[in-house]
Amino acid sequence: MFDPSNCSSCSNIDCLMRCQWINFENIDEARTEMMKMINEEESRVLQECVTCFACEEYCRKGSHPFDLITTLQEKYGSLNINPKIVDATVNRYKPHAELRLKEIDPNKPVLNKCAFGRTNAENMKGKLFDELQAVGGLSYFCNLVYHHYAKDSVIRERAPIIAENIKKQGIKEMICFHDECYGFYNSYFPRNNIPLPEGFKPIHLFEYIRDFLKAHATEITKLNLKVAYQRPCSNRFSPHVDKIVDEICELIGVERVARKYDRENALCCAGVLATLGKSKLMRTTQDKNIKDMLDHGAEAVAYNCPMCLESLGSKVKRKGLKNYLLSDLCRLALGESVPDR
């Protein structure tokens, strides 16, 4: 939830000045637009924002400026997305009316396959996953995708339903296959004062994988591969996870190439721009991102978010680079075969 207490005195306005999508003449202009939003007025930021979440990480005050932006975008209809597309998406991922309970051991972690378990079924096989108990489907879908549709109200409405499903199922530790799911439980719930079941702990997929790799170090064959990491936009809600990426890369013998559009300066996959009617900007952004990968010697691209892979994968492949989910690279290092991307 947005906290304006530190914004008016903020000297840097990093949340706006560091934005890679909106250009400001000077810091005074950025401060003027921020004050408009604090006063719940319309601002050019609301139309020009592409919902990449980066301002959440850029803000050093913990004010959650993206929450302010997405709330006002919904209020003013700023993204101008076709209502039919929005309504269809909202209805498609609606939680089930009734929860089908599974037999699980509450003392062991549970993999959340989210609503895309079938889509990524081939990515959830092998030593990393075969011994895990799992849940999935719309009953556990995080709904953070609606940030890209300026529909925070949908997330806010459904979050308590998902929390209640977790409680009914008796899940204590949940490994989140998708980064957005982890951000949902680790960031969205606490910052919006929405309670989670007592004793519940979300575990990022990469945290689980890192610990697994350490426990099976003798089974790893180093890959000796130079990789450009495509950091997902939702990781802005949990930036500490980015350091775990480095740990995993070291464990499996992957060099994460140092390039311009990575870490805090990462470019999102830009796939959302097609929905926003900004296809030309999407193409130029993706071309710039991929050129950066090539210029810094990457042999492959590693992803966390399957949607990033979907958006960038074909272009990346045409440029001669291979595509992998980072979890699939780990499976390769463990001697397994993975889907060809």
**What tens digit of pLDDT does each residue of 203-257 get?**
999 999 999 999 999 999 999 999 999 999 999 999 999 999 999 999 999 999 9
From residue 27, alpha-carbon distances to 43, 297, 338 in Å are 15, 36, 48
**What tens digit of pLDDT does each residue of 117-153 get?**
788 899 999 999 999 999 999 999 999 999 999 999 9
> Phi, psi (5° rounding) for residue 321?
-100, 150
CB 81 within 8 A of CB 278: no
* Token pair listed for 239: 């930036």
CB 109 within 8 A of CB 174: yes
> Phi, psi (5° rounding) for residue 317?
-65, -40
| CA gap 208, 205 in Å, rounded | 5
| CA gap 106, 169 in Å, rounded | 9
For the segment(s) 210-333, the CATH number from 3.90.1010.10, 3.40.190.10, 3.90.1640.10, 3.40.50.1860 is 3.40.50.1860
User: Domain locations in the chain?
Assistant: 4-76, 84-205, 210-333
| CA gap 111, 96 in Å, rounded | 19
* Token pair listed for 103: 């037999």
CATH 1.20.1050 is the classification of domain 84-205: yes
**What tens digit of pLDDT does each residue of 28-56 get?**
999 999 999 999 999 999 999 999 999 99
Q: How confident is the model at residue 184 (pLDDT cuts 50, 70, 90)?
A: very high
Q: For residue 306, what pLDDT is reported? A: 92
Q: How confident is the model at residue 7 (pLDDT cuts 50, 70, 90)?
A: confident
**What tens digit of pLDDT does each residue of 266-292 get?**
999 999 998 888 999 999 999 999 999
| CA gap 310, 89 in Å, rounded | 18
Mean pLDDT of the chain: 95
pLDDT value at 21 more than 90: yes
First to last CA, the chain: 38
Q: For residue 3, what pLDDT is reported? A: 82
For residue 104, which of 136, 77, 142 has the smallest C-alpha distance?
Answer: 136
pLDDT value at 6 more than 90: no
